[in-house]
C-alpha cells in the first residue's frame, strides 16, 4: 500500500526536487563474506525518501489518498487456477491450507485469512504471527493463538509425519505444536499484548473499549478459522458487528 503524493509533486524539476528534499542518501553494498561485488551488483543503494509523516499520524481522511499496489499474486479463481503450493504470500499472512492442501486450488477463503491478518496489523502495527519465522514455527504459532482444539486432526498427523521424516533425514527435532519453544499467546492475550499495549504507548492512537474489543476478536475468530470452508465470506465480514458499528461509521 502506498500513499498518494500531492498533485504538485510531479511539477517539480529534478533540481527543484533536490533543493526541497535534499540529495539522495546512499549506503554502500557489501557481501556478508566481504568478497568483491560482482559486475551485476551496484556499489551503492539509495535510501527511501522520508516525507515527514509517521504511520500513527495518518487520519481517516488520509485513507482516501492510499493506493493499493503490488498485485503480483492477484488472480481470479473463476478464470485461473493456482494451487496451494504455488502461493507466494509472506508466511505470516499465508493461509494454512497452502501447506496442508498444496495440490488443491486456492480460492477466496485464503484471501479472507490474509485480510484478517492485515486488519490485525493495521490495528496494532504488528503481525499476529511473527514475520521472521519458518513455516513450521508459523504453524505452531497459529495453533497457539487459535486453539489447538480447532486444528484439524488430519493436518496435525500430516504435520507431525513431515517432522518425523525431516528428523530421520537431518537428525533434528520433529515438528511439534508444543515443546521446547516459545509459546505464543491465545487470541485474547495476543490482542492485549500486541495491539492494546502498543496503542497505550502511542497515546494518540487510543485503546479499544471492551465492547469493541470483543467485536474485533469475534471477527478475527471468523476470518482465521483453519478450515477454509468455515471462514466468513467477504459479505459476512462487511456485515460483522465491528464493521457495522465501528469501522464503517468511522470511515463515513
Contact 189, 213 (CB under 8 A): no
Q: What is the pLDDT of residues 125-134, one digit of tens each?
A: 788 998 777 8
Q: What is the pLDDT of residues 155-164, one digit of tens each?
A: 998 888 876 6
Q: What is the spatial distance between Cα 161 and Cα 158, in angstroms, rounded to a whole number?
A: 5
| Domain range summary for the chain, segments of one domain joined by + | 1-69, 83-251
As its CATH architecture, domain 83-251 has Orthogonal Bundle (1.10)
Does residue 17 have a pLDDT over 70? yes
Give the predicted TM-score (pTM) of the model: 0.74
Q: What is the pLDDT of residues 49-101, one digit of tens each?
A: 887 777 667 776 776 666 777 777 788 888 999 999 999 888 999 999 999 99
DSSP bridge partners of 45 = 27
Residue with cell 509533486: 9
Amino acid at each position: 500500500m502506498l500513499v498518494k503524493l500531492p498533485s504538485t509533486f510531479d511539477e517539480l524539476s529534478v533540481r527543484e526536487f533536490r533543493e526541497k528534499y535534499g540529495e539522495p542518501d546512499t549506503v554502500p553494498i557489501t557481501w556478508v563474506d566481504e568478497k568483491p561485488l560482482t559486475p551485476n551488483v551496484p556499489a551503492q543503494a539509495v535510501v527511501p525518501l522520508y516525507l515527514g509523516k509517521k504511520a500513527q499520524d495518518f487520519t481517516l481522511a488520509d485513507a482516501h489518498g492510499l493506493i493499493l499496489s503490488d498485485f503480483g499474486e492477484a488472480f481470479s479463481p473463476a478464470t485461473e487456477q493456482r494451487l496451494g503450493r504455488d502461493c507466494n504470500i509472506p508466511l505470516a499472512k499465508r493461509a494454512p491450507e497452502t501447506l496442508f492442501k498444496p495440490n488443491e486450488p486456492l480460492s477466496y477463503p485464503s484471501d479472507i485469512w490474509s485480510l484478517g491478518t492485515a486488519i490485525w496489523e493495521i490495528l496494532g502495527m504488528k503481525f499476529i504471527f511473527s514475520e521472521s519465522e519458518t513455516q513450521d514455527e508459523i504453524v505452531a504459532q497459529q495453533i497457539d493463538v487459535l486453539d489447538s482444539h480447532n486444528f484439524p486432526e488430519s493436518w496435525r498427523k500430516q504435520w507431525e509425519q513431515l517432522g518425523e521424516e525431516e528428523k530421520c533425514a537431518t537428525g533434528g527435532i520433529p515438528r511439534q505444536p508444543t515443546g521446547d519453544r516459545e509459546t505464543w499467546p491465545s487470541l485474547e492475550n495476543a490482542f492485549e499484548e500486541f495491539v492494546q499495549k502498543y496503542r497505550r504507548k502511542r497515546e494518540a492512537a487510543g485503546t479499544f473499549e471492551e465492547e469493541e474489543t470483543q467485536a474485533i476478536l469475534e471477527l478475527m475468530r471468523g476470518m482465521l478459522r483453519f478450515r477454509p470452508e468455515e471462514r466468513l465470506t467477504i459479505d459476512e465480514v462487511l456485515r460483522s458487528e465491528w464493521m457495522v458499528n465501528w469501522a464503517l461509521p468511522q470511515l463515513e
